[in-house]
Structure 1
């Protein structure tokens, strides 16, 4: 009887040792304070928060490290001033080495300026072309720039032989930023931009109806829509009400909205039947499948009221960019003190009194040119810009969006993803796409 009891006690001691070892693995690591500014009341903010937290846990669970990221989450509440205030507070009171976020272009614009003054990198998923990683060496874009989709959208328009399109865009930094490059690509494809229609993010229902009635008077029935989900949901439900999601119409949506379709309500999906969209292609892998299952459990434990939310590319980029930052911090180490104080003088602002980060330039330079294999695939940042690869072309049918093809810079449109095929040529043929279900179940426009 003593032998089983002894074995049981030994097993308990061994398990306790393992737990203590796991908890103490990084006990001597130097803490690297990092600010994370997100719109925490939004679906995307909640998705990214879970991904940032899991990236940190996963990175430090594998082996011993000399440093460890300590995230400090702040809610920017979809407001630019709140995002800027959060950044100043994080720099002043916590002296963070880097800032992850914020999500929106108008928020990032403010925070990047602040990061520039104190020489702290700002790693933001803002897609707006108005924000340039070339103009600020402290801005690292952790998403594909909105301009990367322009050729893909133009290729779709050319494939179906449409000679005129109308662009309907959100009147914001995000929406306005894509217009010049999209117009240029349409011109290159011999497609006329028949109309540019700006829609205010705060537009009322009757105002949306008025704009749609004006769009009805155009000769073209092909529309390219550049909007974020909040406005797009109201816009497409009103578009259906106006009878414009029907036979004879074609709608193409930009990649941010397409990537977030899993998060919009069923009424909006119903109103978008037959819409085409482009979004970054993410290749499935065993690691990604395993992470997705873990993420779902984590997300729904933290947000039990949100039952129709799926992991998207922005969540994966949040995970990969957090991993990249943790790796970069491990390579350069934690400098103490974190900030170099300025010479004492009167009337210093809060930021001027803080000084500049001692982690510059090594940390910034490393993150601005970083390559790894991440959950999102090849995670390659060059000159502060996450490099795009293949776009997936999808068709909204039924309860979701289904793939009808791909677009790449090298091969154009294809039904199957082309990779290093010396015999393949650039294509803008509609026959190289799968079958498309158009609005009203029409065959073609």
Structure 2
């Protein structure tokens, strides 16, 4: 049976009408979309601006192709910033006032350009979104209308500190550009390094516009420093010039370490090959972008489109800022769709006066607050990774560590806030640590590194500041106190031997430094071997730059610190007074017989006599006729007192009494012997007392005093203590000082405490030291270095370590303890209860034991008394009856 041809025609007509209807509906939907004006301000003449704009356009094209059902459409109004702050501000003002844009996307290459636009957006309630402003300023927390769709520079400082921790570096030099981009990271980087025990030892600031000679001058200054780890924080345009000059003067050789922040590494694809050749061995941090198929497909499409749009620009690579620009446009399109209806996308004018300026008539966007809220809550998976905003800041904190090798970069590992340094991201993802930041990092977490100089040896991070030259150490020449510094000339061999306590401390400090320092001692002497001048003259030689350090018994005085830098002192401080000792017999008073014992010992002894008398009476009065009757207690106390001279006449019957008396007689024997010995000492031993105890006494009597020749103590005696010059006598050795005392030339001597200790180590039986009359906690013997010498701080740290380890004390014992048998007779003091408390404890325990045994035996033999005929009697009445029976 054949089909009717008419039915086929009718069916075809029906489908054609249906298709035409659908096309009409699509056109109607297209015509009902809501246009939303959005401003875009970029430097359209720069490669950075061209890449950003192409990514924004491609983002909207891709977004609406996959979201054709959206009711809103972003309409871009592009303006050229011309890399000028005024031009960018004028463009933003025109977009808000005339075009009434609902948001502005900016891509400035510096934070300075963004600040004014952000302020305008805040005033007009127009969100300002930047995909390139990485400096912490402006801060997103200071305004609700600024969004940073880029990593904050401060987010990478933890990664840098982890690298320092991994390689054990303690210091770094920061080289940064002098603008908002460079300044913003400084406080964050300093704090991060401090947390891992490192610090920034020097800040080298380079202006954005600078000559090559100025860069070379800056780098040559850095070469004179000890630190060999450099952190470079600037953009590639300036950073490439810095590395070129660093290589030219030899700072890209073995022993140096360089770290680039992501300000350079994120642009690495746009750096030419000649600049890369100057960066061999440099480490860099770059934003970690997960590699996905979608991203690879986009790179290919973008490369083709950009090349077609810009045929004269070749070999351009897409960087992370282009991906952030792409995600920025997509996030804004989503947020605008959330806000919805057209009535929200309008402006309200605030002032229509003819005299009002542009800012006063700016008005504000009615949809601004809703758009801010919608944008803040937008979450999606973008080309740059997970898109999440917290306080207007993109949450993306993972970094890749790269090493510049050959014509490109090689990945070494990664850094994440949770896991720290890791070799690959898979191991980081499997780590279940809940810590906010990882606290441990090690070099094994990274791949093999080629350092500057084409070496695999990890740089130490420091180098001898003198570049291998031998330090010239100036040493004072002294005639006395050779234990401190002793310079000996040997004419036969034409050699000089330098020894002493100060020399040994310096040698120990140099050995403890974490780097090798060669040195040679030079005596501060004339050709005939005599001292070439005073200590101040020696200090002035360091100030002139003729020597690299001064070592000896030099004190860090304030006036000397104007010319040199001193380390921490390595000896005790202060100026002490030494006086002779006078010998005098003890004065015998009427109550001298009470002095052998302290008052508390006398009281305890008397209480023990009473206790023993009571115990003997309790144990004897029922069975011994000598202790019965009304006079029994008195006899017992007399018995206990007579034991002091062992003259007791009463006979004891109870064995318990005999036990108590034997213990007590032993204690009395010890007490009497101790008392006799102490009293004899008090009456016969001579007391050693200083002849002078106060400086005022010396001044009042007009006595002569001694000081060491060439010492600053002479100035203290005349200027601060008030001694006349004619009352001062100089000495140069311990022997000369002893002769001054013996001949009656001086009544006291003043000098620094170490010298006085050295004098008393030989003459301690004849002289004594009075408490320091002039004391300065910061003064003492110290090593001197020229101003600005990096060795000052390092040696000071080592001195602290040597003191904590006891090495300085060992050196001091070696030189100062020549006569260990020199001891004075100790002063006789009264004996206290604390010295004999064991004896009295023995008396108490023995007496208590005897009483307990006696009571137990008594109650056992008289237990029938507890059973009274009167059943109504209480226990207390029964006990009273027993006590009455006992008495």
Tell me the TM-score range normalised by the shorter chain: over 0.9
The answer on whether the counterparts of 1:133 and 1:140 sit within 8 Å (CA) in structure 2 is yes
Q: Structure 2: 5+ residue runs without aligned partners?
A: 1-18, 460-887
Aligned partner of 1:436 among 449, 452, 456: 449
- Over 3 Å counting, the alpha-carbon distance change for 1:17 and 1:152 in structure 2 is farther
Secondary structure (helix, strand or coil) at the match of 1:233 reads helix
- Over 3 Å counting, the alpha-carbon distance change for 1:23 and 1:268 in structure 2 is farther
In structure 1, how many angstroms separate the alpha carbons of the residues matched to 2:306 and 2:393? 28
In structure 2, how many angstroms separate the alpha carbons of the residues matched to 1:276 and 1:370? 35
- Over 3 Å counting, the alpha-carbon distance change for 1:178 and 1:22 in structure 2 is farther
Matched pairs, number: 433
Superposed, which structure 2 residues align to 1:283-432 within 5 Å?
A: 283-333=290-340, 334-335=342-343, 338-417=346-425, 418-422=428-432, 427-432=440-445
Superposed, which structure 2 residues align to 1:201-220 within 5 Å?
A: 201-220=208-227
Deviation (angstroms), 1:23? 8.5
203-212 or 368-377: which moved more? 368-377
User: Which residue number in structure 2 is paired with residue 250 of structure 1?
Assistant: 257
Higher relative contact order (CA 8 A, sep 6+): 1
- Over 3 Å counting, the alpha-carbon distance change for 1:24 and 1:268 in structure 2 is farther
In structure 2, how many angstroms separate the alpha carbons of the residues matched to 1:256 and 1:321? 20
Deviation (angstroms), 1:248? 1.2
- Over 3 Å counting, the alpha-carbon distance change for 1:237 and 1:24 in structure 2 is farther
In structure 2, how many angstroms separate the alpha carbons of the residues matched to 1:122 and 1:314? 17
Aligned partner of 1:54 among 35, 52, 58: 58
User: Which residue number in structure 2 is paired with residue 226 of structure 1?
Assistant: 233
User: Which residue number in structure 1 is paired with residue 76 of structure 2?
Assistant: 71
Deviation (angstroms), 1:423? 6.9
The one-character-per-residue Cα deviations of 1:321-369 (angstroms, maximum 9, x if unpaired) are 1100001011102446621011433532213213111112100122133
The answer on whether the counterparts of 2:56 and 2:326 sit within 8 Å (CA) in structure 1 is yes
Deviation (angstroms), 1:192? 2.2
Deviation (angstroms), 1:397? 0.8
- Over 3 Å counting, the alpha-carbon distance change for 1:241 and 1:354 in structure 2 is same
User: Which residue number in structure 1 is paired with residue 86 of structure 2?
Assistant: 81
The one-character-per-residue Cα deviations of 1:51-94 (angstroms, maximum 9, x if unpaired) are 10000101111222211001111111222111111101111221
Aligned partner of 1:115 among 121, 144, 168: 121
The one-character-per-residue Cα deviations of 1:198-252 (angstroms, maximum 9, x if unpaired) are 1101011111111111111110110001001211122222222122112111110
Secondary structure (helix, strand or coil) at the match of 2:44 reads coil
- Over 3 Å counting, the alpha-carbon distance change for 1:420 and 1:365 in structure 2 is farther
- Over 3 Å counting, the alpha-carbon distance change for 1:16 and 1:166 in structure 2 is farther
134-143 or 327-336: which moved more? 327-336
Superposed, which structure 2 residues align to 1:125-140 within 5 Å?
A: 125=131, 126-140=133-147
Aligned partner of 1:42 among 46, 49, 53: 46
Secondary structure (helix, strand or coil) at the match of 1:354 reads coil
Structure 1 residue runs of 4+, over 3 Å off?
A: 15-27, 334-337, 343-346, 423-427
The one-character-per-residue Cα deviations of 1:249-280 (angstroms, maximum 9, x if unpaired) are 11101112111110111111111111111111
In structure 1, how many angstroms separate the alpha carbons of the residues matched to 2:317 and 2:259? 22
256-265 or 171-180: which moved more? 256-265
The answer on whether the counterparts of 2:174 and 2:230 sit within 8 Å (CA) in structure 1 is yes
Secondary structure (helix, strand or coil) at the match of 1:350 reads coil
The answer on whether the counterparts of 2:129 and 2:146 sit within 8 Å (CA) in structure 1 is yes
The answer on whether the counterparts of 1:262 and 1:308 sit within 8 Å (CA) in structure 2 is no
In structure 1, how many angstroms separate the alpha carbons of the residues matched to 2:138 and 2:56? 23
Q: Structure 1: 5+ residue runs without aligned partners?
A: 1-14
The answer on whether the counterparts of 1:35 and 1:100 sit within 8 Å (CA) in structure 2 is yes
The answer on whether the counterparts of 2:169 and 2:198 sit within 8 Å (CA) in structure 1 is yes
The answer on whether the counterparts of 2:155 and 2:397 sit within 8 Å (CA) in structure 1 is no
114-123 or 334-343: which moved more? 334-343
- Over 3 Å counting, the alpha-carbon distance change for 1:240 and 1:24 in structure 2 is farther
The answer on whether the counterparts of 2:118 and 2:145 sit within 8 Å (CA) in structure 1 is yes
In structure 2, how many angstroms separate the alpha carbons of the residues matched to 1:337 and 1:344? 20
77-86 or 204-213: which moved more? 77-86
The answer on whether the counterparts of 2:336 and 2:374 sit within 8 Å (CA) in structure 1 is no
User: Which residue number in structure 2 is paired with residue 7 of structure 1?
Assistant: none
Aligned partner of 1:106 among 107, 112, 116: 112
In structure 2, how many angstroms separate the alpha carbons of the residues matched to 1:319 and 1:88? 24
In structure 2, how many angstroms separate the alpha carbons of the residues matched to 1:16 and 1:204? 70
The answer on whether the counterparts of 2:320 and 2:384 sit within 8 Å (CA) in structure 1 is yes
User: Which residue number in structure 1 is paired with residue 748 of structure 2?
Assistant: none
In structure 1, how many angstroms separate the alpha carbons of the residues matched to 2:363 and 2:377? 25
